Amino acid sequence: MIDRLIEPLAPIHGAAARTACAAGLALPLLGGPTAFALCRLIERDPRPGRPEIVAVRDIPPSWALVRDRITTPPSAAGLPGGPLVMGILNATPDSFSDGGLMLEPSRAIAAGLRMAGQGAALIDVGGESTRPDATPVPPDVEQARILPIVRGLARQGVAVSVDTRHAATMRAALDAGAVLLNDVSALSHDTDATAVVAAAGCPVVLMHMRGTPQTMAGLGRYDDVAVETVRELGARIDAATAAGVARTRILVDPGIGFAKDAAGNLELLRRLPILANLGCRIVLGVSRKGFIGALGQEPDPRARLPGSLAAGLPALALSGSILRVHDVAATVQAVRLWQAMNG
């Protein structure tokens, strides 16, 4: 259980970050090129009289373990290092922006190869939509949709992730050549899922969500969405490691749009550095989501690339972050520019 959190404030990038760290005025965020000079000390039961916001050099010695966790580079989780782009490939009839486009395996494989050629380090293949109120899909139907695609891409050397909540689909996908599992339920939907991941020793993404796609819309009330998301993800990490999943193979996704309204999404995106308290690589999926359309006044999900880039790029302040996107080429270009400016 995570009782103490240190929330990094006012991130500093590039040469200024290096200078501030060398002078002892800042600390590196997850060991990366971004630093922070101020932070908020968050306790489950705050002590009266203790300052909430402090300079990093004034972090109390009793908080050293928390400080070290948020400043140490996370495990690569068996994946290439540095910021990565993950391409979304939905073999579903009802996904919110691309449903029905990739049901034909040959077309989906061609799209996956195209995204890999554009610079996607991973292709995330899904056969069940998890948008709000989506109809659940049985594992056999899900497998019929995705396994030909997974096999086709894996045979051509593409690193495939599979977006699934079902243990049977996880096993079949790994047998077909998938290298990573991405579970929106953080291994809570299927009681056999954790054992599958533990036995395989593969990387796994644990995403924050309350309830299910059918019930999550009514579960989005928080006292502090950023703190509660971190603590609830921390509990899922603890459950997974207790069941034999190696912590060094865990990645986390804050679940933008899952049991969070537009205000909650924005608050969490503004405070992404707080996720460093989990000590894991971050996967962020904001691509084309509804809050971007509402705020950017763009009803067509396929026309939300500018907003998707604006919402996603701040995650690169967290070392080794992975952006899960529909528009690979544009995102890869944006990541390269961000690195050139800030690395």
Residues labelled catalytic: 289, 324
DSSP 99-152: TTSS-SHHHHHHHHHHHHHTT-SEEEEESS--STTPPP--HHHHHHHHHHHHHH
Which 8-state DSSP code applies to residue 29? G
Could you tell me the CA-to-CA distances from 14 to 73, 191, 229 in Å, in that order?
17, 44, 28
How far is 70 from 221, CA to CA, in rounded Å?
A: 27
* Dist CA 282 CA 272 (whole Å): 9
Beta bridge partners of 251: 205, 281
Integer Cα distance of 204 and 280 in angstroms: 11
How far apart, in Å, are the Cα atoms of 222 and each of 231, 254, 271? 12, 14, 15
How remote is the C-alpha of 24 from its chain's centroid?
31
Report whether 305 contacts 327 (CB < 8 A). yes
- Contact (Cβ atoms closer than 8 angstroms) between residue 25 and residue 34: no
Q: Which two tokens stand for residue 86?
A: 């993950």
Report how far apart, in Å, the C-alpha atoms of 297 and of each of 7, 58, 302, 307 are.
32, 44, 13, 10
Q: Which of 24, 34, 98, 166 is nearest to 174 (CA)?
A: 166
SS3 of residue 195 by DSSP: helix
Q: What is the enclosing helix (H) or strand (E) of 37?
A: strand 35-43
